[in-house]
């Protein structure tokens, strides 16, 4: 799809949250529903001004459950939609993220993470929603989640999130954090013709031949929108290929493995890990989001001390890149996992490393980023 | 001469998913009547079924969307109205109807109901009120009358109930009516009015649940419940919101409580936003007319 130039090409100095909002517009987002919550609010504020300029719709809903549902409704109305929130709102959205998974409704949910649990540190950074993004809604499902480390990445990953949502017909989560959301730095918007934008895959079939949940070869059904004359039924209940509820183990067995497999089966296309100085390294720092940025400094310091240390920067956190972790686990002494929570993704690293190397958690309860010395200390100890 | 009117097909077939019948509702339940009245109203008034969407939440009434042969969405518990909000704003040409139960709309989804009314979104909400949570086995609802027995008020209900017409009107709806499932002709007419109404229209449909509400309150059959509704409801040509409360010993007033004109959400949006957008924000910045606040 040729992108309309709604986001001007050029260099801008802006915050991560604003870059996210612009990324959404560049990706074709024309509907945003949200509820104010620190530290994500600037995304809503920015889109409240920008969407009407380009014929899109902004609505501030009464709560986050309403916000995510309005996005789902707008998606079935034919638009690309997004909502943005932080921890408490993300918790409220969980049930309806499951609805999006079950009804295969493409949409983007941005979680600018802050310190939790509960109200926690409303204005300060956290990375404590990593596992919630994967497991937060009830039942078995797979999710795609990205994690930006800079405003530029926030811009780019928002576009990517919209593309993946359409390609996989699934909600895509962006697990940003307060520091990435609020830091301002240079963001480069490319010419629109350089952007790859995935359009919704609408069916060419006639209403008589079309079944809304009849998957084709890749396990992903084509879509229609309300008002096209297909008179579809869409339900969050277990359903058959026609979208009709079926309360049987057999219907569940036909549906759920397909929903899971459409993501699991294409893990290799989804996984995105930046492998920096890994060759010959004794220690790898495995990190994501703002903590990947904090790690750079510690790694540089370690290099100057002559320690062979590399980095695995997770741009996509779900699905988890277990093959890549496994590959390197054979070749290094230790993997260090700094994260602004009390140890979440480290569990996945441990699982994937499967005892082939030491896995060291460098937790942080939130409210601030790691001091690089703490990560450096862990590197030094692990290299001994 | 008599005319042959028997056909092989259901008379409302063109707007019902008859392949899904038999439906899940109990003998004596009023939901089939409400569904029939809605479908009849659509056909009688020749609404374009391709341009109509029905959204339901969860519960017995939540199954309504699934039986209607229009674009239909069965969402999560309480969230039919925000889903409908997004759909309506994405495609304002659609007639978007929320058809769900009392527990769904004024219980778990109560916040969405009052806010959608406040915004005067161009939606129609048909709330079937059977005074109880039916699908889960008969628990107290925000609409259960004082003193009524449910599985969670075994000593009799001691919570005050919502007055749905008054709640809708106070929150900003432009059309509010209440009928029982015995008022089929008036209900059909009212559905037509509500669908054609510009703004947030609400119809409360009082419906019997003999299986649970009835059985627990000495009205165990559909007939007994229908008789009860017939004897205890009172149609008023000019029904007043002041008499909309359902209280012990008083008749349930049915009729049209409110029918007013007020600009809708989208009209207000257009009025407020429409004229103000002359130049894109970045065009201003690029032209040097406005500095980027953080540059």
Domains A10-194 and A272-383 share a fold: yes
Segment A360-383 shows an average pLDDT of 97
Q: Which of A61, A235, A244 sits opposite B82 (nearest CB)?
A: A61
- The residue extents of the domains of chain A are 10-194, 272-383
Residue among B120, B48, B121 at smallest CA distance from B83: B121
Dihedral of CA B179/B181/B182/B186: which sign?
A: positive
Confidence check: pLDDT of A105 > 80: yes
B237-269 burial by CB neighbour count: b if 16+ within 10 A, else e? Answer: eebebebbebeeeeebbbbbbbeeeeebbbeeb
Contacts of B294 in chain A (CB under 8 A): 13-15, 184
A vs B: CB pairs below 8 A: 152
CATH number assigned to the domain covering B13-262: 3.40.50.970
- The predicted-structure confidence for A194-236, as pLDDT tens digits, reads as follows 999 999 999 999 999 999 999 988 899 999 999 999 999 999 9
| C-alpha span between B144 and B130 (Å, rounded) | 8
Q: With CB atoms and an 8 Å threshold, state whether A73 touches B86.
A: yes
Per-residue pLDDT at B274: 79
Segment A86-109 shows an average pLDDT of 98
- The predicted-structure confidence for A326-360, as pLDDT tens digits, reads as follows 999 999 999 999 999 999 999 999 999 999 999 99
| C-alpha span between B30 and A140 (Å, rounded) | 36
> CB neighbours of A327 closer than 8 A, spacing ≥ 6?
none
Chain A contact for B17 (CB, 8 A cutoff): yes
Per-residue pLDDT at B191: 98
Instruction: Give the fold, CATH level 3, of A272-383.
Output: Rossmann fold (3.40.50)
Per-residue pLDDT at A384: 87
**ipTM of predicted complex:** 0.97
Q: 3-class SS at A260?
A: helix
pTM for this prediction: 0.96
- The predicted-structure confidence for A16-32, as pLDDT tens digits, reads as follows 999 999 999 999 999 99
Q: List the pLDDT tens digit at each of the 295 positions of chain B.
A: 566 666 678 889 999 999 999 999 999 999 999 999 999 999 999 999 999 999 999 999 999 999 999 999 999 999 999 999 999 999 999 999 999 999 999 999 999 999 999 999 999 999 999 999 999 999 999 999 999 999 999 999 999 999 999 999 999 999 999 999 999 999 999 999 999 999 999 999 999 999 999 999 999 999 999 999 999 999 999 999 999 999 988 899 999 999 999 999 999 999 988 777 766 666 666 666 655 544 4
Segment A159-179 shows an average pLDDT of 98
Q: With CB atoms and an 8 Å threshold, state whether A231 touches B51.
A: no
Per-residue pLDDT at A1: 44
CA angle B220, B224, B225 (to 5 degrees): 85
Chain A contact for B281 (CB, 8 A cutoff): yes
Tell me the C-alpha to C-alpha distance, in Å, between residue A114 and each of A61, A175, A349, B48: 21, 11, 23, 48
Report chain A's C-alpha Rg in angstroms. 21
Q: Which of B78, B273, B294 sits opposite A184 (nearest CB)?
A: B294
Percentage of residues in chain A having pLDDT higher than 70 = 99
Q: With CB atoms and an 8 Å threshold, state whether A57 touches B89.
A: yes
Segment A275-287 shows an average pLDDT of 97
| Helix B31-44 and helix B184-196, axial crossing angle in degrees, nearest 10 | 60
Confidence check: pLDDT of A3 > 60: no
Per DSSP, A17 falls in state H
| C-alpha span between A52 and A123 (Å, rounded) | 28
Tell me the C-alpha to C-alpha distance, in Å, between residue B69 and each of A100, A233, B8, B95: 22, 8, 18, 14
> CB neighbours of B18 closer than 8 A, spacing ≥ 6?
B9, B10
User: For B46-145, where are the E strands, in sequence order?
Assistant: 52-56, 71-74, 95-101, 124-129, 132-133, 139-140
Q: In the sheet where B233-235 sits, what is the strand order?
A: A233-235, B71-74, B52-56, B95-101, B124-129, B201-206, B175-180, B252-259, B233-235
How long, in residues, is chain B?
295
> CB neighbours of A328 closer than 8 A, spacing ≥ 6?
A275, A278, A284, A312, A335, A357
Per-residue pLDDT at A217: 83
- The predicted-structure confidence for A241-264, as pLDDT tens digits, reads as follows 999 999 999 999 999 999 999 999
Chain A contact for B54 (CB, 8 A cutoff): no
Per-residue pLDDT at A203: 97
Q: With CB atoms and an 8 Å threshold, state whether A77 touches B55.
A: no
| C-alpha span between A125 and A370 (Å, rounded) | 11
Per-residue pLDDT at A216: 80
Instruction: Lowest mean pLDDT of A2-11, A184-193, A289-298, B64-73, name the range.
Output: A2-11
- Chain A interface, best mutation among B48, B68, B70, B90, by max A CB count within 10 A: B90
Confidence check: pLDDT of A4 > 80: no
Instruction: Give the fold, CATH level 3, of A10-194.
Output: Rossmann fold (3.40.50)
Per-residue pLDDT at A5: 76
- Whether A46 contacts A28, CB under 8 Å: no
- The residue extents of the domains of chain B are 13-262, 263-295
Q: With CB atoms and an 8 Å threshold, state whether B295 touches A13.
A: yes
Contacts of A13 in chain B (CB under 8 A): 292, 294-295
Dihedral of CA B116/B121/B127/B133: which sign?
A: negative
For A84, phi then psi, to 5°, come to -140, 145
| C-alpha span between A15 and A13 (Å, rounded) | 7
Residue among B107, B51, B42, B47 at smallest CA distance from B80: B107
């Amino acid at each position: 799809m040729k992108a309309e130039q709604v986001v001007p090409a050029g260099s801008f100095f802006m915050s991560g949250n604003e870059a996210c909002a612009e990324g959404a517009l560049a990706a074709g987002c024309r509907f945003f529903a949200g509820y104010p919550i620190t530290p994500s609010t600037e995304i809503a504020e920015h889109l409240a001004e920008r969407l009407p300029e380009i014929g899109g719709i902004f609505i501030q809903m009464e709560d986050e459950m309403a916000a995510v549902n309005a996005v789902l409704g707008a998606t079935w109305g034919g638009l690309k939609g997004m909502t943005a929130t932080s921890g408490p709102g993300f918790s409220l959205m969980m049930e309806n993220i499951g609805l999006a998974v079950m009804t295969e409704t493409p949409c983007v949910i941005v979680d600018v993470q802050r310190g939790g649990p509960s109200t926690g540190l409303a204005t300060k950074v956290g990375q404590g929603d990593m596992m919630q993004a994967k497991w937060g809604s009830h039942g078995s499902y797979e999710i795609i989640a990205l994690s930006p480390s800079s405003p530029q990445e926030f811009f780019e990953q928002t576009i990517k999130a919209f593309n993946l949502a359409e390609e996989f017909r699934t909600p895509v989560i962006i697990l940003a954090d307060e520091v990435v959301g609020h830091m301002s730095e240079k963001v480069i918007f490319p010419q629109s013709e350089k952007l790859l934008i995935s359009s919704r895959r609408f069916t060419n079939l006639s209403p008589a031949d079309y079944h809304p949940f009849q998957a084709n070869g890749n396990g992903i059904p084509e879509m229609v929108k309300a008002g096209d004359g297909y008179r579809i039924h869409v339900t969050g209940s277990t359903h058959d290929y026609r979208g009709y509820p079926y309360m049987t183990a057999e219907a569940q067995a036909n549906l759920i493995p397909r929903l899971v497999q459409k993501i699991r089966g294409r893990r290799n296309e989804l996984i995105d890990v930046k492998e920096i100085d890994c060759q010959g390294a004794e220690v790898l720092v495995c990190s994501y989001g703002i903590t990947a940025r904090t790690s750079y400094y510690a790694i540089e310091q370690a290099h100057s001390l002559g320690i062979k240390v590399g980095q695995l920067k997770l741009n996509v956190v779900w699905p988890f890149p277990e093959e890549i972790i496994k590959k390197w686990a054979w070749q290094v002494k230790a993997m260090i996992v700094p994260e602004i929570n009390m140890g979440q993704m480290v569990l996945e690293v441990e699982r994937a490393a499967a005892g082939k190397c030491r896995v060291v958690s460098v937790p942080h309860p939130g409210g601030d980023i790691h001091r690089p010395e703490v990560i450096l200390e862990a590197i030094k100890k692990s290299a001994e | 001469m008599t005319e042959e009117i028997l056909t092989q097909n259901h008379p409302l077939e063109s707007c019902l998913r008859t392949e899904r019948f038999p439906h899940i509702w109990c003998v004596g339940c009023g939901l089939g009547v409400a569904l029939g009245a809605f479908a009849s109203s659509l056909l009688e008034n020749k609404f374009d079924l391709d341009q109509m969407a029905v959204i339901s939440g969860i519960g017995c009434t939540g199954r309504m969307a699934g039986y209607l042969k229009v674009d239909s969405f069965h969402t999560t518990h309480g969230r039919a109205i925000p889903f409908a909000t997004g759909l309506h704003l994405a495609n304002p040409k659609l007639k978007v109807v929320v058809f769900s139960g009392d527990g769904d709309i004024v219980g778990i989804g109560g916040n969405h109901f009052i806010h959608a009314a406040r915004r005067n979104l161009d939606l129609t909400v048909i709330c079937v009120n059977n005074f109880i949570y039916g699908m889960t086995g008969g628990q107290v609802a925000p609409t259960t009358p004082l003193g009524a027995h449910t599985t969670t008020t075994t000593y009799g209900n001691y919570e005050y109930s919502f007055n749905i017409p008054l709640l809708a009107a106070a929150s900003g709806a432009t059309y509010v009516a209440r009928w029982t499932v015995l008022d089929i002709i008036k209900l059909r007419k009212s559905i037509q009015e509500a669908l054609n109404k510009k703004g947030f229209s609400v119809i409360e449909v009082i419906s019997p649940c003999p299986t649970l509400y009835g059985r627990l309150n000495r009205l165990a059959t559909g007939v007994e419940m229908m008789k009860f509704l017939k004897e205890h409801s009172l149609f008023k040509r000019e029904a007043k919101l002041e008499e909309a409360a359902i209280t012990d010993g008083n008749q349930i007033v049915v009729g049209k409580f409110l029918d007013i004109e007020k600009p809708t959400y989208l009209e207000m949006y257009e009025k407020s936003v429409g004229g103000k957008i002359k130049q894109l924000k970045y065009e201003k910045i690029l032209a040097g007319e406005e500095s980027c606040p953080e540059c």
